[in-house]
Chains A and B, each alone.
Chain A
């Protein structure tokens, strides 16, 4: 079983739509959780950290459920520029290195 699993999509949504991505992780000892965004042929960029209490950054809301080992990302009022691959990322046993999911592809259309 992979450490971090995501639905690869693609998710095709119209501008202004709300879209949600889910992710599960297998290592219950994981401590840190993130969503990264990766554009085609580019490096991943940190979108936001994910906390147990849930956190919001503008149109983006992330939630963590430690009991279910489940992470989510909600994007409201989608923009064309949100089109990218969203990577669910969890820290590894070493505490420093990161485990990446395969990513969920989002395409926002006019």
Chain B
């Protein structure tokens, strides 16, 4: 149980295009989903926290107009990178916090999406 999927797993796009990444909790409801970004040889950095039915909370330095997050249901959150540029190339990972979690800090990670912007 507790599986989180991400789609696509890998995307290559031209500079200026928008890319949508989906994060789904497959066998549980997630009240909160987190979006992280990881550059090569760097740590995972939290970008934003999204709660179902409400606006996402963005971390300092993350542009909310560039990284659009929608958490429309208890099993799906999407991250759209608008007008992507080469510096947005990174590994984007989501995690989901179950509605009924054994611990408040329980999170299950998706397999990540590798974005390359040419």
Contact = CB atoms under 8 A, between A and B. Distances in A.
A55 interface: no
Interface stretch (B36-44, B61-69, B71-79, B81-89): B36-44
Provide the main secondary structure of the chain A interface.
Answer: loop
Contacts of A41: 91, 112, 114
Nearest to A95: B104
A35 B117 CA distance: 32
Contacts of B112: 41-43
Interface string A86-110: 0100011011111111110000000
A43 B43 contact: no
B93 A43 contact: yes
Contact of B43 (A92, A94, A102): A102
Contact of B44 (A8, A44, A95): A44
A99 B46 CA distance: 8
